[in-house]
Amino acid sequence: MANLVVITTTAVPDHVRGALTRWMIEPKAGCYVGTLSARVREELWEVVSASLGEGSAVCIHPSDSEQRFLVRTAGPQRREVVDYEGIQLVQMNPQELADPDAEATRTEL
């Protein structure tokens, strides 16, 4: 059975974007949406996560969890997905919070 899958990307190589658009539509730059089987989703995610270069990606797809979806990430992220008693929560990346230069850079922008 096919399910709705959303993948977002940032600063990925062109061939990764090409791989995603073979299976999904891109309604906004870097945001891909498609109805994929679990097998296609897993194989596509393997290609994306292995080919990011300096970029990053997030995949959201249905799951049998309490939330009914799963969030997966690859590459450097400002936010980190953490499991709290079976529920996925998002927190700011602890390494970024510990870096005083990161805060100065954000406030200057």
pLDDT of 69 over the 60 cut = yes
For residues 69-87, average pLDDT: 94
Whether the full predicted model's pTM is greater than 0.75, yes or no, is yes
Place of tokens 């690859």: 74
* Cβ atoms 60, 6 nearer than 8 A: yes
Gap between the Cα atoms of 70 and 86, Å rounded? 11
102 pLDDT tier (thresholds 50, 70, 90): low
Write the DSSP symbol of residue 85: T
Here the tokens at position 55 are 């970029």
34 pLDDT tier (thresholds 50, 70, 90): very high
* Cβ atoms 72, 58 nearer than 8 A: yes
* Cβ atoms 51, 16 nearer than 8 A: yes
